[in-house]
């Protein structure tokens, strides 16, 4: 009976943890709004992606980002109560963007023209854009290249990096483009586990290039030189 009691207590504990996790994620209201047109993009979205999958991805990406940023407590996160995803036509040169802090727009025309696995690409886009919802931006003082690079880092760590991204070690500057920055941040994180989470946390109230020195003991340019030397040696 004692063993059974311990088992029941263990199961109850797991159930409580699961319910708490669900309450945490359900504190955020997720919505997906699809344009009601019947364009090739709409049809492809409905056939290969779907509204249900989009909602699931909004939730799973949010929990993944909280984990990447080490935001286990609500107080560590932005005070975001809802995230809305709009799947609709946008200017053809735009893939997606996030405005008002929690409104994500994905270009349905881009989905129509995408030649590969559109569901995987769509998922990667959402991981990138939802990162913009949750990440800190130094009170808008952090470099845009770093903000985008952190979002790309999240997409990279979620294993949704597209095939046309630069490989690790490529690039002439750490902030040259978001995929280059993502790989560089991954290198920095290998030097200090949790580096990206700590960097993001520091950007809650402001930004300084000295954050790299404080966390890793070197300037960002010195770290970039080490990163390039590592791949040249390999």
Question: Beta 103-107 vs 82-88: how paired, if at all?
Answer: parallel
12, part of any domain: no
Main-chain dihedrals φ then ψ at residue 143, nearest 5 degrees: -60, 135
Residue 93's domain comprises 27-134
Question: Beta 103-107 vs 96-99: how paired, if at all?
Answer: antiparallel
20, part of any domain: no
115, part of any domain: yes
Main-chain dihedrals φ then ψ at residue 103, nearest 5 degrees: -110, 115
Burial 177-190 (b: 16+ CB within 10 A, else e): bbbbbbbbbbbbbe
Using CA atoms, how far residue 107 sits from 76, 86, 124, 155, in Å, is 31, 9, 14, 18
Same domain, 107 and 153: no
Q: How confident is the model at residue 35 (pLDDT cuts 50, 70, 90)?
A: confident
- The CATH number for 82's domain is 1.10.390.10
Global confidence as pTM: 0.87
pLDDT at 5 over 70: no
Q: Which of 134, 155, 190 is the last residue of a domain?
A: 134
Locate 37 and state its tokens.
Answer: 């047109």
Q: Which of 108, 134, 160 is the last residue of a domain?
A: 134
Same domain, 96 and 149: no
Same domain, 176 and 96: no
Nearest-angstrom CA–CA distance, 148 and 145: 5
pLDDT at 80 over 90: yes
Sheet holding 82-88, edge to edge: 29-34, 82-88, 103-107, 96-99
Nearest-angstrom CA–CA distance, 176 and 11: 50
Contact 59, 25 (CB under 8 A): yes
Same domain, 110 and 146: no
Half-sphere exposure for 32 (CA within 13 Å, toward CB):
17
153, part of any domain: yes
Same domain, 37 and 110: yes
75, part of any domain: yes
Q: Which of 134, 153, 188 is the last residue of a domain?
A: 134
pLDDT at 23 over 60: no
Number of domains in the chain: 2
11, part of any domain: no
Q: Which tens digit of pLDDT belongs to each residue from 206-216?
A: 999 999 999 99
Same domain, 76 and 156: no
199, part of any domain: yes
pLDDT at 33 over 50: yes
């Amino acid at each position: 009976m004692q063993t059974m009691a311990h088992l029941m207590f263990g199961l109850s504990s797991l159930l409580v943890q699961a319910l708490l996790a669900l309450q945490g994620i359900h504190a955020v209201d997720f919505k997906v709004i699809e344009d009601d047109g019947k364009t090739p993009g709409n049809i492809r979205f409905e056939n290969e992606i779907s509204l249900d999958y989009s909602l699931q991805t909004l939730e799973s990406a949010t929990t993944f980002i909280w984990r990447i940023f080490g935001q286990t407590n609500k107080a560590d996160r932005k005070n975001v109560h809802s995230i809305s995803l709009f799947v609709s036509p946008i200017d053809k040169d735009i893939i997606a963007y996030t405005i008002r802090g929690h409104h994500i727009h994905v270009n349905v025309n881009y989905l129509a023209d995408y030649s590969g696995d559109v569901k995987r690409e769509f998922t990667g886009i959402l991981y990138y854009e939802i990162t913009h919802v949750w990440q800190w931006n130094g009170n808008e003082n952090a470099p845009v290249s770093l903000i985008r690079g952190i979002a790309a880092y999240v997409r990279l760590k979620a294993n949704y990096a597209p095939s046309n991204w630069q490989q690790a070690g490529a690039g002439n500057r750490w902030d040259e483009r978001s995929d280059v920055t993502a790989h560089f941040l991954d290198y920095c994180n290998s030097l200090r586990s949790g580096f990206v989470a700590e960097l993001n946390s520091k950007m809650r109230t402001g930004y300084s290039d000295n954050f790299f020195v404080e966390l890793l003991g070197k300037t960002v340019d010195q770290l970039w030189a080490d990163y390039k030397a590592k791949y040249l040696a390999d």
